[in-house]
């Protein structure tokens, strides 16, 4: 997402959206129906955590356009299944053109799944959501330049996940996770999707 001096922009249907939500056709549905909506469930949060990690250093549209490839390659991001992936699976993933073939990110995904498979059911959900800041303390952003890339809460979440052994989850990635999964609502104040989470 890039900074912008204006607020929401009318889309093809006339509804005002965050400007990034209109920057590519693929973004409209993602912006309207997913981004900033509450995501719960260990597997669902694991998927978002993995995709945000794979996005690191790339544009989100790159990940969004390959999401189905990622889901196929990583067994629907079911933690218990990914935790059983072997070295042979890692070799297959490195050759899969449907995903981002980055060895460090693939290794982190497999290691994180193995670690999370040991957590009690529901623990990832409870843990991540315990870092959701009080919405009353966060004014609605008026422009994209009002939206931070990292916050104290995302830094704390990143440190806590790393302390528990998870990899490839820095403060910026943690904040992108918080935005995508509805822990924070960074839709602009005049965006129609504001408050829909």
Binding site listing for Zn(2+): 18, 31, 187, 191
DSSP 133: P
The residue annotated as part of the active site, out of 35, 52, 131, 175, is 52
CB atoms under 10 Å from CB of 7, counted, come to 17
Q: Which of the following is catalytic: 30, 34, 81, 119?
A: 30
Cα 173 to Cα 110: distance, rounded to the nearest angstrom: 18
Residue with tokens 């839709």: 187
Active site residue 60: yes
- Neighbouring residues of 4: CB distance < 8 A, sequence distance ≥ 6: 19, 143, 144, 145
Catalytic one among 20, 27, 35, 60? 60
What's CA 98's distance to the chain center, in Å?
A: 19
Reply yes or no on whether 81 is catalytic.
no
Active site residue 129: no
Q: Which residues are catalytic?
A: 30, 52, 60
């Amino acid at each position: 997402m890039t900074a912008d001096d204006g607020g929401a922009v009318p889309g093809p249907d006339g509804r005002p959206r965050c400007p990034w939500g209109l920057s590519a056709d693929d973004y409209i549905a993602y912006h309207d129906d997913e981004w900033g909506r509450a995501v719960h469930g260990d597997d669902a949060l694991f998927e978002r955590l993995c995709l945000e990690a794979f996005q690191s250093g790339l544009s989100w549209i790159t990940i969004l356009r390959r999401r189905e490839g990622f889901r196929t390659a990583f067994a629907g991001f079911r933690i218990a299944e990914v935790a059983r992936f072997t070295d042979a699976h890692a070799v297959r993933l490195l050759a899969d053109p449907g995903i981002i073939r980055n060895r460090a990110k693939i290794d982190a995904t497999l290691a994180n799944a193995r670690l999370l498979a040991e957590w009690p059911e529901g623990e990832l959900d409870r843990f991540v959501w315990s870092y959701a800041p009080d919405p009353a303390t966060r004014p609605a952003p008026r422009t994209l330049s009002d939206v931070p890339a990292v916050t104290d809460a995302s830094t704390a979440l990143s440190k806590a996940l790393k302390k528990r052994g998870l990899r490839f989850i820095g403060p910026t990635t943690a904040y992108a996770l918080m935005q995508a999964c509805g822990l924070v609502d960074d839709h602009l104040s005049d965006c129609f999707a504001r408050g829909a989470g």
